[in-house]
Structure 1
Amino acid sequence: MNGSDQIWAEALRTLERGQPFALATVVNVRGSTPREVGAKMIVRADGQFGTIGGGCGEAEVFRKARVLLEEGSESESGVRLAEVDLTGDFDQREIGTCGGIMDVFVDLWSPARDLEIARKLADAAGRSAPGALITVVDPGSRSEMPAGSRTFIDPRDAGARDAGPIDLPASQFAQIVERTDDAIPTLLEADGAGRLHPVTHLETKGGVRLFVDPIVGAQRLIIVGAGHIAAPLCVLGAMLGFHVTVIDDRASFANRERFPDADEIIVKPFKAAIDSLALDGHCYLVSVTRGHSFDEEVVCAALMQPCGFVGMIGSRRRVKATLERIGESGVPIERLGDVHAPLGVAIGGETPEEIAISIIAEIIRERRTGERDDFTLGVRSGLLKRSK
């Protein structure tokens, strides 16, 4: 499971044991920081779960969270907003990872008040279902919504905007739904007209500030083809927190003995297996089958669903020919740009393990930066021109 999955599952387990905790969430960053907006850690009486980057900055947030936790109901507001300045952290600067500022919101969660919302968050994350945690970071002039007020929304349910202690106007709810669909954690501030705008500074203009924290759910790595590359790829995917599915039409290859780290193993013809999965934008599907025709079948099936990442190994010549055939098969040509092929960052890998590392590197690059090679985009462009 990814970080969000684990955090919400752990939050639920903690509250079910009757333990309160302080949740520290990175709500804004400026400059280079070790963790991104949305990173979290749970601070309990017995320690912490999760991380917001380690080092002196995390230690200071941990200290403030423990103070808040010890104060409990006696705390005036039950929240803290901590600025973690890493620009002067010599050790961090030396390794070249930091030099920025993180704004971290810390608030108390209690079994009596928050068990139900934690249950919704854990359930949505575990099922990769749409949803978001909305937290008031600064109430501005909205005294009826104190800092730390929070609610869970399901973007499919328009009535959810009135749920809990946060009453959102319809226009703001629509904006939050858009952010939830994009799966981008964002700090928003309402202007005088009630419109929400992203903010990247601490100074408030008096409008309510909301942190929109979408539930990304378990990001899935779907490995189609259970050959030599698939084995190390499965290990790496599990190590990085993906929910890993391995697919092959041969039980002698796709089995628990060869893939002990896989969350799911499916033995079916390739197309039938992919059709049986509900692929979405959080899925990373890679085709590493034993033959060109199988890869073509796999990519065609994956492109008929809203799969976020579709990768295929092969030479440029083979990839170009395959994409051209797929473009003539009825698959929307526009979707060919979603294919990552030839698959893998160019590191000169030759062994199955090295090739697996190059594939995982491309997946990480896509997940973290959105950058990619443009070969398949060029093929798609040519096919689009040809189709006119």
Structure 2
Amino acid sequence: MLDIAGQLHRWMEEGRAFAVGTVVSVGGSAPRGPGAALAVDSEGTAIGSVSGGCVEGAVYELCERALQDGRAVREQFGYSDEDAFAVGLTCGGVIDMMITPVPADSPQRAVLQAALSAAAGGEASALARVVHGPEELLGRALLVRADGTHEGGLGGHPELDRIAAAEARALLDAGRTGTVGLSEDGSHCPGGLTLLVETSVPPPRMIVFGAVDFAAALVRAGKFLGHHVTVCDARPVFATEARFPEADEVVVDWPHRYLRRTATDGRTVVCVLTHEARFDIPLLTEALRMPFAFVGAMGSRRTHEDRLRRLREAGLSEHELDRLRSPIGLDLGARTPEETALSIAAEVIAARRGGTGLPLTGGAEPIHRDLSAPPAPLVAGLSGSDG
């Protein structure tokens, strides 16, 4: 439910009663992952999505029923074959749903409102809810913050909240949503209780180095993908908010110096668009030694070869150089800044999700990959620039 936190938080503040259907687990080629949610209020208004359309109608009806009878229920949807009237996933996947009513007088309302407020405000937090176990515990919630403090409670044994908070904190540190099996006394014996732990973390950063014309288009693409986007350039005449109004921040500084001092993590995306050695080499020397999700640099193949030579001279190992995606972007035949931004965004997605960058037509690989599996190698990409 945290994926629709902003809208649900407004419903909370308005005192609306609602029911929310949340994806607990998926199998096969399910369109959306655990944590995806659809909510229905007492007026019949719906927000969110759990399947991209396949089972939305059935989940809507389950939410309406939960609002009427006040009972939390589990439901599983599988393959609907060729029957046009069957409710299920035509893609062949399976999704396990939890339907939870949240009436205006729900004892869980306070902790859910706190969790939704934290997520809507960009605070790192995790919400653990009982999705399998004794009926009296279903829907019980525990909010866990990044500093380890927690509020709410799951009921039952006093140790249960402490152990559940530790498990939720571990998932929060990893930025993952998933399920945890515990016994009712809090021990790690599966079969008693299943908790769905939804995590909410600040958006990943995309740092675009080089206040060039391609950067403006990439800023828009990065924002569309949900990144917090920063543009950095050492030249104040180019690095201005007027030129990049959609960026979250525009920084005037030497790129390598800024990278050293700014806060980053393993989800950070670094895109180097300057293709000037005086900026690129010190910056990439730093970036390729940091645990970023993606480091890419624009330029022609000739520029790339010269860049590799200079980086080797700067002391980078072949293992470190293998992390560099250059020329940046997938081979889409891009020419314009917008097309080039799309090719870069596509490579960022492929790197994150383990995609191949190949057309789906004629392929045999699953469309939706198991994110716990190692990512597949990417096809070598081309940038849309020849600079």
> Shorter-normalised TM-score: what interval?
0.7 to 0.9
* Cα shift at 1:60: 1.2
Deviates more, 1:240-249 or 1:22-31: 240-249
* Cα shift at 1:373: 3.2
C-alpha distance 46-191 of structure 1, shift in aligned 2 (>3 A): closer
Contact map agreement 2:142 2:161 (CA 8 A) in 1: no
Distance 1:319 1:175 in 2: 44
Give the equivalent residue in structure 2 for 1:267. 252
Question: Which residue, out of 80, 86, 90, partners 1:87?
Answer: 80
Give the equivalent residue in structure 1 for 2:173. 181
SS at match of 1:212: strand
Question: Which residue, out of 352, 361, 370, partners 2:337?
Answer: 352
Q: Over the residues paired in the alignment, what is the CA RMSD in angstroms?
A: 3.6
Give the equivalent residue in structure 2 for 1:103. 96
Give the equivalent residue in structure 2 for 1:59. 57
Q: 1:156-171 counterparts in 2 under 5 A?
A: 156-157=147-148, 160=150, 164-165=153-154, 167-168=159-160
Distance 2:201 2:85 in 1: 29
Q: Which runs of 4+ in 1 moved over 6 A?
A: 89-93, 330-334
Structure 1: state its 5+ residue gaps.
Answer: 198-205, 377-388
Question: Which residue, out of 240, 243, 268, partners 1:258?
Answer: 243
Q: Which amino acid aligns with 1:102?
A: I
Distance 2:297 2:85 in 1: 38
Contact map agreement 1:150 1:165 (CA 8 A) in 2: yes
What is the CA deviation profile of residues 71-97 of structure 1, one whole-angstrom value per residue up to 9, with x for unaligned ones?
Answer: 2xx51x3x222223343367899xx97
Question: Which residue, out of 182, 195, 200, partners 1:190?
Answer: 182
Confirm whether residue 217 of structure 1 aligns to residue 210 of structure 2.
Answer: no
C-alpha distance 211-327 of structure 1, shift in aligned 2 (>3 A): farther
TM-score by length of 2: 0.76
Q: Which amino acid aligns with 1:308?
A: A
Q: 1:34-49 counterparts in 2 under 5 A?
A: 34-44=31-41, 45=43, 47-49=45-47
Q: Which amino acid aligns with 2:280?
A: D
TM-score by length of 1: 0.76
* Cα shift at 1:8: 1.9
Distance 1:374 1:178 in 2: 33
Confirm whether residue 366 of structure 1 aligns to residue 361 of structure 2.
Answer: no
Distance 1:13 1:307 in 2: 35
Question: Which residue, out of 120, 142, 161, partners 1:151?
Answer: 142
Distance 1:54 1:323 in 2: 43
Q: Which amino acid aligns with 2:279?
A: F
Distance 2:331 2:189 in 1: 42
Give the equivalent residue in structure 2 for 1:295. 280
* Cα shift at 1:372: 4.0
Question: Which residue, out of 231, 238, 243, partners 2:223?
Answer: 238
- The count of aligned residue pairs is 352
Distance 1:367 1:92 in 2: 36
* Cα shift at 1:225: 1.2
Structure 2: state its 5+ residue gaps.
Answer: 355-374, 382-387
SS at match of 1:67: helix
Distance 1:82 1:33 in 2: 15
Q: Which amino acid aligns with 2:197?
A: V
C-alpha distance 252-174 of structure 1, shift in aligned 2 (>3 A): same
* Cα shift at 1:288: 1.0
Distance 1:196 1:301 in 2: 45
Percent identical among aligned pairs is 31
* Cα shift at 1:61: 0.6
Q: Which has the higher helix share?
A: 1
What is the CA deviation profile of residues 95-145 of structure 1, one whole-angstrom value per residue up to 9, with x for unaligned ones?
Answer: x9722121111213356643454334543564463x3111100125xx7x6
Contact map agreement 2:254 2:279 (CA 8 A) in 1: no
C-alpha distance 127-314 of structure 1, shift in aligned 2 (>3 A): same
Contact map agreement 1:135 1:148 (CA 8 A) in 2: yes
